[in-house]
Amino acid sequence: MSPSDSALFETAAQILDRFQIEIPSWGFANTGTRFGKFVQPAAASTLEEKFNDAAEVHRLTGATPTLALHVLWDLPRGLADVEQVHALERSTGIRAGSINPNLFQDQQYKFGSLCNPSEEIRAAALRHVLDSIEIAHHLHARDISLWLADGSNYPGTQSIPRRIEWLEEALIAAHQCLAPDQRLLVEYKPFEPAFYHTDIADWGMSSHLCRTAGPQAFVLVDTGHHYLSQNIEQIVAWLLHLNLLGGFHFNDRRYADDDLTLGSIDPYQVFRIFHEICQHRQSSPSKGPLHAVPFMIDQSHNLKGKIEAMVQTVATAQELWLKAALIDREQLAALQQSCDLVAAEELFRGAFWRDVRPLLSAWREARGLAPNPLTALRSDGYIERISRERANRQSTVGSYA
Ligand code: PSV
Ligand code: MN
């Protein structure tokens, strides 16, 4: 290696050593669309299987030490299931990640959860959020990640302003129960399952709610939760500027919340989002642990093999992160300042088109990982083994995540 090659490798290695992305437990389970589910023999149906699959992904990629959990799907007995999670953390080396309350599946939530016109149902939903905060506390999980399916399908059938007030009240109450090192992440989504109005439809609504709730509430950006052609990286830049960016749910989409694997449709968009984050990190001093922005994947794989899709996603995230982190931002800033449009764009595009895969392989080998995690997965026999072990078992979880 020439001195400049080895300097580049050292820089890349430092970037990759620090890059982590959380994977979701529901990405390993049988899920589908509203038209049906195609069950996979290797799908996980128990929490133990989900932790084992997460450990396999981490073993291959070196970048996924935490697993996001959905309370109803993973800890259906609430606090009583915490001990099992601790045991799985010990046996697999994977830690529990963000905790996701489930405010959308129970029959009582037909007309909403925290925004339901029934005071009783709103109280039950809030209780579930508070229970989830306590679960997170016992699991030493910093983030409680809130997504509501609340909304309405027909104009005039619900009072939007009353629902705003109910939401404000609930989030203030939830925030009061956070420990000092915990955070409430508030996710937005413009439509689905509600198709006329969604109670937290965009980042403006989410930002307002976070500011109303308190300083430990932050906005969660799910890349699939935007209208087509929306400039997501600009939203990210604004949230960073406002100190309100809490985290990401990464996935890709062609039409709506398609849950496709990251970068499969538009890798340039992920690169542009990563650039905004890298730029912010370089220009602003760290504001402490509450402001560290976690990357999470929110995907459910219906057609691709679940573990294979997850490994492919993580490897893609590593490539795109490395490309964005290696941008010569000093030079870019100078070109921006002098309004040298084509040169600025070419520098930016050049970073995107740069093939960083040889650097990634070299980093993997240096860290004792397989140079190509997907090839390693295909040859290590894990999928064949779990397919045999899990065959003929039906998922106990009826989710369409
Ligand atoms: C909703 O579409 C969402 O993005 C939320 O994050 C949920 O928790 C997740 O998907 C799983 O259904
Ligand atoms: Mn999400």
Ligand 1: residue whose CA is nearest its atom 9: 401
Mean pLDDT, the chain, integer? 96
pLDDT of residue 4: 87
- What span, in angstroms and rounded, lies between the C-alpha atoms of 110 and 277? 38
| Cβ(323) – ligand 1 distance below 6 Å | no
Beta strands in 53-162 (DSSP E): 66-70, 95-100, 143-146, 151-152
Q: Kindly tell me if the per-residue pLDDT of 395 is higher than 70.
A: no
3-state secondary structure of 97: strand
Q: Kindly tell me if the per-residue pLDDT of 21 is higher than 60.
A: yes
Query: CB-based contacts of 184: which residues, under 8 Å, 6+ apart?
Result: 133, 143, 144, 146, 171, 174, 175, 178, 210, 213, 216, 217, 218
Give the pLDDT mean for 203-208.
98
Q: pLDDT tens for residues 154-198?
A: 999 999 999 999 999 999 999 999 999 999 999 999 999 999 999
Q: Please report the atom of ligand 1 found closest to the CA of residue 257.
A: 2
Looking at the chain, the whole-number percentage of residues with pLDDT higher than 90 is 93
Q: Please report the atom of ligand 1 found closest to the CA of residue 192.
A: 2
Q: pLDDT tens for residues 36-53?
A: 889 999 999 999 999 999
Question: Is the entire prediction scored with pTM above 0.95?
Answer: yes
Query: CA-CA-CA-CA torsion for 141, 143, 149, 155, nearest 10 degrees?
Result: 160
pLDDT of residue 278: 97
Q: Enumerate the H helices of 177-223 as residue ranges.
A: 203-213
Ligand 1: residue whose CA is nearest its atom 8: 147
Give the pLDDT mean for 84-111.
98
| Cβ(147) – ligand 1 distance below 6 Å | yes
- What span, in angstroms and rounded, lies between the C-alpha atoms of 66 and 93? 9
- 62 Cα to the center of ligand 1, angstroms: 25
| Cβ(226) – ligand 1 distance below 6 Å | no
| Cβ(257) – ligand 1 distance below 6 Å | yes
| Cβ(302) – ligand 1 distance below 6 Å | no
Q: Kindly tell me if the per-residue pLDDT of 396 is higher than 80.
A: no
Q: pLDDT tens for residues 56-71?
A: 999 999 999 999 999 9
| Cβ(298) – ligand 1 distance below 6 Å | yes
| Cβ(150) – ligand 1 distance below 6 Å | no
pLDDT of residue 399: 59
pLDDT of residue 400: 56
pLDDT of residue 102: 98
Confidence band for 401, pLDDT divided at 50, 70 and 90: low
**Cα dihedral 115, 116, 118, 124 sign:** negative
- What span, in angstroms and rounded, lies between the C-alpha atoms of 143 and 160? 28
Out of 199-213, 249-263, 279-293, pick the least confident: 279-293
pLDDT of residue 34: 85
Which H or E element spans position 346?
helix 341-353
Amino acid at 247: G
pLDDT of residue 398: 53
Give the pLDDT mean for 247-266.
97
Q: pLDDT tens for residues 295-310?
A: 999 999 999 999 999 9
pLDDT of residue 33: 87
pLDDT of residue 391: 87
- 100 Cα to the center of ligand 1, angstroms: 9
pLDDT of residue 108: 98
Q: Kindly tell me if the per-residue pLDDT of 392 is higher than 80.
A: no
Give the pLDDT mean for 273-301.
94
